[in-house]
């Protein structure tokens, strides 16, 4: 236990990095997800095809393959970012495909009459999507997005592979340094719990606040 306590500063720093990775990727993933979901329900066929292509591609390739390809392969065509930014881009692109699917299923739950009514008062497709459909659709997928966030929080540990100093990286490093693997593992588990538990709470609050009362 004292091994963990004596490295509290390191743990706090790594937790911060993990949180930053997760929040930055999540912001990107939300933007991508909503955009791609809009593409997938659009009346414009090429956009629908592009949306489907995006989702099927990134959902089916392991995130670690994407990360290694992006970090080690894309340098060859002059795409070169820091470790942190690379991890954020890859995790946003990967998680974005899942959020797109969640949002699309939310759009499908919005009653048909809503879209018809929007059209009847003369809104164009983008207007009815942004003003009428999406606000209702996003509310219904808060729980799904919450569980995607908690998956993302654990998935950003992949960044340890390219030596971003987050929790998984720190854990391996400390095991080697201190030779006390079980205490370190317990500390890491506690650190992850300290981050996932408040997340569940926050999404619970958002869910209650945004619930449609019928």
Partner 1 sequence: MSAPVLGDALGPRGRRRVAIASVLASLAIVYLVWVAFRRLKDAGQLDAAQWELLTRPEVIRFFLGGLANTLKAASLSLVLAATLGGLLALGRISRSIPVKTAARAYVEFFRAFPLILLIFFNFFALPYAGINLSRYWSLVVALSAYNAAVFGEIFRAGILSLDRGQSEAAMSVGLPYWSVMRLVILPQAFRRMTPTIVSQSVTLLKDTSLGFVVGFEELLRVGQIAGEFGRNPLQTLSLVAVFYLIVNFTLSRVARHLEIRQRRRYQAAPIEVAGVEDLVAVGAAAEAQQPKGH
Identify residues 178-197 at the interface with partner 1 (CB under 8 A).
179-182, 184-185, 188-189, 192-193, 196
Supply the Cα-derived Rg of the chain in whole angstroms: 20
For the CB of residue 175, give the shortest distance to partner 1 in the complex, in Å.
Answer: 5
Q: How far apart are CA 100 and CA 8, in angstroms?
A: 38
Under rule CB under 8 A, residue 77 binds partner 1: yes
For the CB of residue 19, give the shortest distance to partner 1 in the complex, in Å.
Answer: 14
Q: How far apart are CA 87 and CA 18, in angstroms?
A: 11
DSSP state of 212: P
Under rule CB under 8 A, residue 56 binds partner 1: yes
Which range, of 1-9, 21-29, 45-53, 83-91, touches partner 1 by CB under 8 A?
45-53
Q: How far apart are CA 104 and CA 90, in angstroms?
A: 21
| Other Cβ atoms within 10 Å of 168 Cβ, number | 20
| Binding residue for partner 1, selected from 3, 23, 47, 206, defined by CB under 8 A | 47
In the region spanning residues 1 to 40, those forming contacts with partner 1, defined by CB under 8 A, are: none
For the CB of residue 8, give the shortest distance to partner 1 in the complex, in Å.
Answer: 19
For the CB of residue 154, give the shortest distance to partner 1 in the complex, in Å.
Answer: 4
Q: Between residues 24 and 40, which has the closer beta carbon with respect to partner 1?
A: 40
Interior/surface letters 65-104, b for 16+ CB within 10 angstroms, e for the rest: ebbeebbeeeeeeeeeeebbebbbbbbbbbbbbbbbbbbb
Which range, of 1-9, 22-30, 158-166, 206-214, touches partner 1 by CB under 8 A?
158-166
Residues 137, 179: contact at Cβ < 8 Å?
A: no
Under rule CB under 8 A, residue 80 binds partner 1: no
Which range, of 9-17, 27-35, 85-93, 159-167, touches partner 1 by CB under 8 A?
159-167
**Among candidates 150, 158, 152, 174, which has minimal Cα distance to 13?**
174
Q: Between residues 24 and 152, which has the closer beta carbon with respect to partner 1?
A: 152
Sign of the dihedral defined by the CA atoms of residues 14, 16, 19, 20, in that order: negative
Interior/surface letters 129-148, b for 16+ CB within 10 angstroms, e for the rest: beebbbebbbbbbbebbbeb
In the region spanning residues 93 to 152, those forming contacts with partner 1, defined by CB under 8 A, are: 98, 101-102, 107-108, 115-116, 118-119, 124-125, 128-129, 133, 143-144, 147-148, 150-151
């Amino acid at each position: 236990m004292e091994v963990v306590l004596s490295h509290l500063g390191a743990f706090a720093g790594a937790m911060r990095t993990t949180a930053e990775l997760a929040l930055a990727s999540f912001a990107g993933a939300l933007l991508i997800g909503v955009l791609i979901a809009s593409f997938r329900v659009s009346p414009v066929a090429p956009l629908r095809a592009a949306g489907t292509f995006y989702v099927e591609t990134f959902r089916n390739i392991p995130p670690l393959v994407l990360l290694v390809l992006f970090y080690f392969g894309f340098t060859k065509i002059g795409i070169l970012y820091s470790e942190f930014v690379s991890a954020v881009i890859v995790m946003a692109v990967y998680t974005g495909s899942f959020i797109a699917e969640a949002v699309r299923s939310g759009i499908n739950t919005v009653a048909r009459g809503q879209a018809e009514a929007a059209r009847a008062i003369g809104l164009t497709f983008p207007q009815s999507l942004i003003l009428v459909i999406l606000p209702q659709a996003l509310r219904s997928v808060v729980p799904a997005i919450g569980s995607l966030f908690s998956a993302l929080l654990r998935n950003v540990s992949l960044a340890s592979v390219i030596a971003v100093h987050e929790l998984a990286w720190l854990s391996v490093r400390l095991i080697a340094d201190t030779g006390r693997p079980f205490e370190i593992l317990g500390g890491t588990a506690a650190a992850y719990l300290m981050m996932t538990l408040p997340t569940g709470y926050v999404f619970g609050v958002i869910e209650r606040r945004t619930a449609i009362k019928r």
